[in-house]
Amino acid sequence: MMEDVVSENDDKPTARPRRYDCDVLVVGGGIVGLSTAYALTRARPGVRVVVLEKEACPALHQTGRNSGVIHSGIYYRPGSLKARFAAQGAAEMVKFCAEHDIPHEVTGKLIVATERDELPRLHALAQRGRENGIPLRELGPAQITEREPHVTGQAAIHVATTGICDYSAVAAALARLACDAGAEVRYASRVTAIDRRDGVGVAVRTASGAVLRARALVNCAGLHSDAVARLAGDAPPARIVPFRGEYYELVPSSAELVRGLVYPVPDPAFPFLGVHLTRGIDGGVHIGPNAVPALAREGYDWRTAHPRELAATLAWPGSWRIARRHWRYGSGELHRSLSKAAFTTAVRRLLPEITEEDLRPAPAGVRAQAVLRDGTLVDDFLIDEAPHTVHVLNAPSPAATASLPIGREIAARVLVGLAALAG
């Protein structure tokens, strides 16, 4: 049991034995945090869960600003958490959407090689998909045209299990279901301080001055996950380096040029999938994203900069090592960000009929990419544990697709810790 003693000169809530306000505090009201709360209430009815979200509503950042794709799991290293959870999560997400009347559709997608030198990578990707148990077909040019008459390519992979959905609606449903089972979601509750006592639990203070005590804390803070880990007194092995993904959309008169989802062959050295075409649940066609460094963790355009966050990114050695290692790739992404003509040229590799007039700007997103000190881009979900604490330190795409099994995995780890504390 915990009692908080907070002096005016302290920046952390300190803990002495008293009572708990809840069993588990979840920091972050995106789809992963809400899935964790939902999984906890299902795994142990009666467990007291409080979700702290700094915004006024859920899913305003990565969850609500992605392309809405239900990924199949074809891209990810066999045996990785991404491969396992994406394939499992895709099937569960379709079922969840159907059960809760959330707009979705299983459309399938094409991954298209537009140049001959991409063919070996395409075939290697097909082999990886088979190793991950993903049903797929390899197609020739005529079969590409049959599925997407306006797309050109040397060869393609058709992945039938890919789909689209409204992830903001999924997050809202998870919040509702968790609350129906006794959880609480507190909005406008930014965490400013954390005190953790081994064998006791955690005390968290929010920007409003409220202090909550819990047996365990789950950090699902996304773009701010490394900062929350440091508040808890931990030293995460990676830092979040934000990359903005910029989108265009086809004007309505050109939307008929794309029937479904069309992707390029990804560069295996980088975790981004390249500029792709996505017909969403609203019938519109989004094109993108490219990937450029953001000047703030929530820097959705070039005008938005946060000097302290930018300084922290630049101070991390991994940031400079990324720049040196991938400068050629990065310069191309930057060029497409600053030049609509260059972006259009990239799109025309897949969709030759497109002109600049067919594209209009669409809302951007920011990817929370964990980067190690040596400049390695963390290519799998990264979940770290400390006393009374589980940190989700890397959960970019396909985390939305995989959110249901990720939530169960996190919940299982938390409950093991609670059982140990009770024992």
Given a contact cutoff of 8 angstroms between Cβ atoms, the answer to whether 14 and 6 are in contact is: yes
Spatial separation of the C-alpha atoms in residues 199 and 16, rounded to whole Å: 11
- Counting residues of the chain whose pLDDT is more than 90, the rounded percentage is 87
pLDDT over 90 (residue 128): yes
Q: Three-state SS for 262?
A: strand
Q: How confident is the model at residue 5 (pLDDT cuts 50, 70, 90)?
A: very low
pLDDT of residue 332: 87
- For 171-237, where are the E strands, in sequence order? 184-186, 191-197, 201-206, 211-219
In 276-420 the beta strands, taken as DSSP E runs, fall at 276-279, 285-293, 359-372, 382-386, 389-394
Q: At 3, is the pLDDT very low, low, confident or very high (cuts 50, 70, 90)? A: very low
Residue with the larger pLDDT of the pair 86 and 13 = 86
Higher pLDDT, 8 or 287: 287
**Beta-strand relationship, 155-159 and 109-113:** antiparallel
Tokens describing residue 42: 């299902």
- pLDDT-based confidence at residue 271 (cuts at 50, 70, 90): low
List Cα–Cα distances, 377 to 238, 263, 307, 354, in angstroms.
9, 22, 23, 33
**pLDDT tens track for 236-254:** 999 999 999 999 999 999 9
Angstrom distance (rounded) from CA 80 to CA 97 = 25
Helices (H), ranges, 100-150: 119-131, 141-147
Lowest mean pLDDT among 8-12, 67-71, 109-113, 193-197: 8-12
The C-alpha atoms of residue 345 and residue 358 are separated, in whole angstroms, by 12
Is residue 1 over pLDDT 70?
no
C-alpha to C-alpha distance for 312 and 290, rounded to whole angstroms: 23
Beta strands in 237-358 (DSSP E): 238-250, 261-264, 276-279, 285-293
Q: Give the alpha-carbon dihedral of 62, 68, 73, 79, to 10 degrees.
A: 20
Residue 48 backbone zone (phi > 0: left; psi -120 to 50: alpha; other: beta): beta
Q: Give the span between the Cα atoms of 269 and 287, in whole angstroms.
A: 22
- Mean confidence (pLDDT) of the chain: 93
Q: Is the pLDDT of residue 6 over 80?
A: no
Helices 81-99 and 167-180: crossing angle in degrees, nearest 10, is: 80
In the numeric block, the tokens 């789909």 are attached to 163
pLDDT for 7 equals: 33
With residue 137 as reference, give the H or E element that holds it: strand 136-139
- What is the separation, in whole angstroms, between the first and last Cα of the chain? 14
Residues in contact with 40: Cβ distance below 8 Å, sequence separation at least 6, in sequence order: 24, 47, 49, 178, 183, 411, 414, 415
Tokens 């959870």 -> residue: 85
Cα angle for residues 13, 383, 376 (degrees, 5° grid): 110
Task: Give the containing element (helix H, strand E) for 110.
Answer: strand 109-113
Distance between CA 361 and CA 244 in Å, rounded?
Answer: 14
Check residue 269 and give its pLDDT: 66
Q: Is 145 exposed, middle or buried (0-12, 13-18, 19+ CB in 10 A)?
A: middle
Specify the pLDDT at position 119: 97
Question: 289-312 pLDDT, tens per residue?
Answer: 989 999 999 999 999 999 999 999
How do beta strands 389-394 and 155-159 pair?
A: unpaired
Distance CA 345, CA 275 (A): 11
CA distance 77 to 99: 31
What region, left, alpha or beta, does residue 28 occupy, with left being phi > 0 and alpha being psi -120 to 50 degrees?
left
Plot region of 101 (φ>0 → left; ψ -120 to 50 → alpha; else → beta) = left
Contact 301, 246 (CB under 8 A): no
pLDDT in tens, 361-396: 999 999 999 999 999 999 999 999 999 999 999 999
Distance CA 30, CA 308 (A): 24
Please give the Cα distance from 17 to 22 (Å, whole number).
14
**Residue-wise burial string across 326-342, b where 16 or more C-beta atoms lie within 10 A, e elsewhere:** beeebeebbbbbeeeee
Counts for the chain of helices (H) and strands (E), in that order:
11, 21
